[in-house]
Structure 1
Amino acid sequence: MDHIIQQAEQLVRQQQYNDALATIQPVLLQQPNNDKALNIAAVIAALQGNTYEAMDYFAKAMLANPSNSDAIYNLCALVGKQRSHADQYLKPLANTLIQWMRPELKPEMGNLIKLTFDKLAFNKAEPMEWLTAIFENYALPILLTAAQHDHYDLAFFLEGYIYQHYVKREESETHFEQAFKCWKNQLHEAGQRYRKTVDEMIAGENWSAGNPLAEHNLPKIVFILHTSSTLAHVEALISFLAGHQQLATPLISPMVITIADHNTDMVNQLQALKVPIIEVETEHPQMPRSARYAFLKSYLYTQGYQTLVWVTSVPEMSFAFGLRLAKTQIWWTMKFHGFSLPDIDGYVSSMHVDETFEHNGIQWHGGTLSSTNWFDETQTATAKQLRHQYPYACLYGTIAREEKLNDPLFLNCIADILTANPDAGYLFTGRELDPTIEQVFSERGVAHRCHYVGWVNSKLYCQVIDIFLDSFPCGSGYSLLESMAAEKPVVMFNQPNYVSYYPTIDALINTYFPANITTVAFYQSIATNVNEYQAIALHLATDPHQYQQASQLNQHLINELFANQQRCAQIYCQHFLSISQQT
């Protein structure tokens, strides 16, 4: 039969499709499960425009031989284009890939999954309904199986990919919580199983735990960053460490460890603060991801670091905390709170003023952001030059990641504002231009007044714009405060089910702001519905007096409430130490 199959393949290459099909049909009659013959029939059907017939043939070839990567790859490509039939094929695709993990993991599995994700169009630019279908029927079953069979590094890849392209597609507390509930327990259990192996290794080496106190009897605390970067959560950590350095009496001996990547700017800032840093990937570039956590646990054990603070990013935390990297494990989040695990000993938030508060039955410890670098005056001249490039009476703007901007409700709200104010423009940012944003602005006829500037210096562009329009349902943190520091009015939402920094600012005003200074202009910029949001944005653009009042007050609020690094450092250190003493 092999020579007949080769002959059919040759006819396909010569574009003699009918002859190729006639050649291969006898093989299919005698051997209906011959995956090579089925694959050829599928290719012929696809080339002749018979897409659904091709999908059926590829599926049969894949089921006949789960190792037939061509059939898997081609079926994904067709499913990604003909989505109405996705339900019929996604689960069989997942079940086939799962067989690549048993009895042992095939080394090419990771690369194949990457290709299938690309062909299925599993990326955050696609509609949420499509991403949900792939997640539930394809990606999640593979992730759960990888965790169950202790294929840790494959599970990390899948979790990271799902987080970037599905979880972050909709930036909301509810979506975040519901998504991670689907797999966090399985990864946590995998970490607990790995813990037995790692603990035996540490005991086998006869290592003794180091001194948990540094010089001057300061408790050692290590801060774990998922990746090296200068994103907002890293800025918050560095600001905390700077504030701690300014305390008359230091409270802890900090160290920072990153699991992946390298960021020179971040390293330089930490070194300037004389905070030791270990970049595991830089020092051990060939070390598998799971082995990095084993290395990290043994290192922390031997050096006496009994308290660990995982900074904000949740991927891999379920596994790492199941491994029990340290005696006390704390999660410090800058945004979402809908995540919990038995091995999290303490929860710390940067969005609450209250010393303690309860969320989903869990006690949290509150804190806020602080910095002495909200405004960069060296960028002012450049900002003025850039502003001249936008010939509008008012330039609205949102400085944020694209996944915060792509909600249709927010985008249509922006379009309504621009429609009502024909003299206004809109500037927005992101790592890449989201097709949803382009589509909405184009359909609403305002695309020519909407300017995408990419991934930029936020302190610069917060000075370029005239009014900051906070995104919803997930608002901004750092860029919002940077805009306020740059004397720009900001329009925000106050909704219980939205992620917004408004409640934090409101609580800080009531706690720390001088009572003799009116804050009316700030509260006049807070909306509770879309109509109010639009009205406020339009009023600020046309009322110079209101604009000036809001601008000046915002700068004052930043200086009074968000520039006290020492106060924030004191609060966070107290939280970290009290949690450590309780475990």
Structure 2
Amino acid sequence: MDHIIQQAEQLVRQQQYIDALAIIQPVLLEQPNNDQALNIAAVVAILQGHTNEAMDYFAKAIQANPTNTDAINNLCAIIGKTRNQCDQYLILLANALTQWIIPQLRPETGKIIQLTFDKLSFNKTEPMEWLTAVFENYALPILLTAAQYDHYDLAFFLEGYIYQHYVKREESETHFEQAFIRWKNQLHEAGQRNRKIVDEMIAGENWSAGNPLTENNLPKIAFILHTSSTLAHVEALISFLAGHQQLTTPLISPMVITIADHNANMVNQFQALKVPIIEIETEHPQMPRSARYAFVKSYLYTQGYQTLVWVTSVPEMSFAFGLRLAKTQIWWTMKFHGFSLPSIDGYVSSMHVEETFEHNGIQWHGGTLSSVNWFDETQTAAAKQLRHQYPYACLYGTIAREEKLNDPLFLNCIADILTANPDAGYLFTGRELDPTIEQVFTERGVAPRCHYVGWINSKLYCQVIDIFLDSFPCGSGYSLLESMAAAKPVVMLNQPNYVSYYPTIDALINTYFPTDIATESFYQSIATSVNEYRDIALHLATDPNQYQQASRLNQHIINELFANQQRCAQIYCQHFLSISQQT
């Protein structure tokens, strides 16, 4: 039979499709579940333009042999292009891939899943409707199976991929919460099961908990980053540690742990603050991802770190906190709040001024961002030169990740502004150019005046633009404040379900700002509807007095409210310590 299969494959390569079918059909009559013959019949059907027939053949081949990678990849490629009858075939593929996991994990499973994601176009640049179909019918079932059978590292890969390409496709509090609720409990339970093994290992080594205090009686607190980067949440941690260093009397003894990757710039900044940092991937590159959390737990246990603060990004946190890395486990978020676990002992936010507030029945502790480096005057000359490259009376700009910019409502609002102001241009950023952004600007006829500049120095480009247009429904944090520090007007849309830094700025003004300073120009730049947002942006570009008033006030707001690192450090330390004392 093998020689017939080989002969049919040779005929396909020679484009003799009818002859290939002629010798394959008898095989299928005798062995209807011969997956190799089914795969050849499917390939012939594709080449003859019979897509539905091909999909049916591939599906039968996969049902007959779930490890037939040719059939899996071919079916994924067709589904990714045609998206025809996708749900039933995605479910079939998920059922096949779970057999790569149970009863035991095949070593190549992660690579084949990565390949299927590529062929299915499971990528954040695709429409949300398609990503949801792949998530619901394919990616999520495999993730849940991996968690159920304690294949931790495969579960981490799937969770990270889903987070990057599905969760972040729509940056909203609601989507974030509704996505993670689908799998966080299963990963948490997997961590709890793993905890029994790790705790026995620690006890078996006769390790004893170290002293939780330093020689100066400072409580030891560890801060964990699941990946190394210089993104906003890391900048917030660095600023907090810098502020703590400036306190007359230090309150804690901090340490930083990174689980994966290496970022030399980030490491240098922590070292400059004399904060110890452990890079597990650098020190133990061959250690499996799940084993790294066991290592963290044993290290914290022996060194006396009884409090652990997980900084912002939640992938892998469900598992890690189920493992119970420390006596007190705190989640410190810079953006979303729709995430909770029984093993999170305290919740801290950088989006609220209130000392405590309630969200979804959970008590939170509030704080804000702070820095002494919002404005970089060494970039001013370069910024002036760059501005000359954009010959517009007004250059609007949004400096943010591409997933914050790709909402059609926001993009069409930008297009409305540019249509109403033909003398204006628009500058935007991102790690890559999202096709949705390009499509909307092209369809609206404003693409020639929209300039994508990639992943840039935000402090430089905040000085290049004339007016910062905050994205919605998920707004910016650092780049918004950097624009204000550069004396640029900013336009924000304030809606109850949108994520924006406006409520935080408003609360800070009411709490700390001198009452004799007029703040009207700031509030005049805050919209409550898309139409009002457009009108404000147009008015700022044509009213020099309003522009200058907003520019001066924004710069003053940053200097007055967002440059006090010591105050912020003291607030956060009090939160961390009070939560620790309660557990």
- Considering the TM-score relative to the shorter chain, is it more than 0.5? yes
Residue 365 of structure 2: SS of its match in structure 1?
strand
Cα distance, 1:569 vs structure 2: 0.2
Aligned-pair Cα RMSD in Å: 0.4
Structure 1 residue 93: deviation in Å?
A: 0.4
Matches within 5 A, 1:544-559: 544-559=544-559
For 2:74, give the aligned amino acid.
N
**1:211-226 pair list within 5 angstroms:** 211-226=211-226
Other-structure match for 2:60: 60
Counterpart CA distance in 2 for 1:260 and 1:5 is 46
User: What SS does the aligned partner of 2:99 have?
Assistant: helix
Give how far 1:182 is off.
Answer: 0.1
Give the TM-score normalised by structure 2. Answer: 1.00
Equivalent in the alignment of 1:14: 14
Cross-structure match for 2:387: 387
Superposed displacement of residue 214, structure 1: 1.2
Q: Provide the rounded CA distance (Å) in 1 between the counterparts of 2:426 and 2:311.
A: 33
How many residues align? The count is 583
Deviation digits for residues 195-236 of structure 1 (CA, Å, limit 9, x no counterpart): 000000000000111010012000000000011111000000
> Counterparts of 1:443-482 in structure 2 under 5 Å?
443-482=443-482
CA distance in 1, matches of 2:372, 2:87: 53
* Structure 2 Cα separation of the partners of residues 556 and 74 of structure 1: 59
What residue in structure 2 maps to residue 43 of structure 1? 43
Aligned residue number for residue 364 of structure 1: 364
In structure 2, the residue matched to 1:437 is 437
| Alpha-carbon displacement from aligned partner over 1:533-576 (angstroms, at most 9, x marks no partner) | 00000000000000000000000000000000000000000000
In structure 2, what is the Cα distance between the partners aligned to 1:478 and 1:540?
22
> Cα deviations across residues 418-454 of structure 1 (Å, max 9, x unaligned)?
0000000000000000000000000000000000000
Amino acid paired to 1:89? Y
Partner of 2:542: 542
Give the whole-Å Cα distance in 1 for the aligned partners of 2:510 and 2:303.
43
Give the whole-Å Cα distance in 1 for the aligned partners of 2:445 and 2:235.
38
Gaps spanning 5+ residues in structure 1: where? none
2:23 corresponds in structure 1 to 23
The alpha-carbon deviation at position 85 of structure 1 amounts to 1.4
Letter in 1 for 2:262: H
Aligned partner of 2:495 in structure 1 is 495
- Secondary structure of the corresponding residue to residue 309 of structure 2: strand
Partners in 1 of 2:384 and 2:67 — Cα distance? 60
- Deviation of the 1:20 alpha carbon: 0.4
CA shift, 1:48, in A, is 1.1
| 2:92 partner letter | P
Deviation track 1:144-177 (CA, whole Å, cap 9, x = no partner) reads 0000000000000000000000000000000000
The aligned runs of 1:230-241 (5 Å cut-off) are 230-241=230-241
TM-superposed CA distance for 1:2, in Å, is 1.5
Q: Deviations over 1:457-503 (max 9, x none)?
A: 00000000000000000000000000000000000011110000000
Helix, strand or coil at the partner of 1:159: helix
Deviation at 1:102, TM superposition (A): 1.3
* Partner residue in 2 for 1:253: 253
User: Secondary structure of 1:84's match?
Assistant: coil
In the alignment, does 2:568 pair up with 1:568? yes
Residue type of the partner of 1:306?
Answer: Q
Partner residue in 2 for 1:77: 77
Fraction of identical pairs, as percent: 88
Amino acid at match of 2:526: I
Distance 2:291 2:323 in 1: 12
Q: Secondary structure at the match of 1:292?
A: helix
- 1 CA distance for matches of 2:94 and 2:352? 42
Q: TM-score, normalised by structure 1?
A: 1.00
1:294-373 equivalent positions in 2, closer than 5 A: 294-373=294-373
Partner amino acid for 1:276?
Answer: P
> Which portions of structure 1, spanning 4 or more consecutive aligned residues, are displaced by more than 6 angstroms?
none
Q: In the aligned structure 2, how far is the partner of 1:544 from the partner of 1:367?
A: 35
Residues 86-105 of structure 1: pairs in structure 2 closer than 5 A = 86-105=86-105
Whole-Å separation in 2 of the counterparts to 1:300 and 1:286: 21
Write out aligned runs for 1:202-213 (5 A). Answer: 202-213=202-213
Whether 1:169 and 2:169 are equivalent positions in the alignment is yes
Task: Work out whether 1:515 is the aligned partner of 2:515.
Answer: yes
Unaligned runs of 5+ in 2: none
Looking at structure 1, the residues matched to 295 and 223 of structure 2 have their Cα atoms a distance apart, in angstroms, of: 16
d(CA) in 2 for partners of 1:283 and 1:53?
A: 53
Say which SS state the counterpart of residue 455 (structure 1) adopts.
coil
Residue 108 (structure 2) aligns with: 108
CA distance in 2, matches of 1:212, 1:368: 28
Report how far residue 4 of structure 1 moved. Answer: 1.2
The residue type paired with residue 490 of structure 2 is V
Alpha-carbon distance in structure 1 between the residues aligned to 2:151 and 2:102: 11
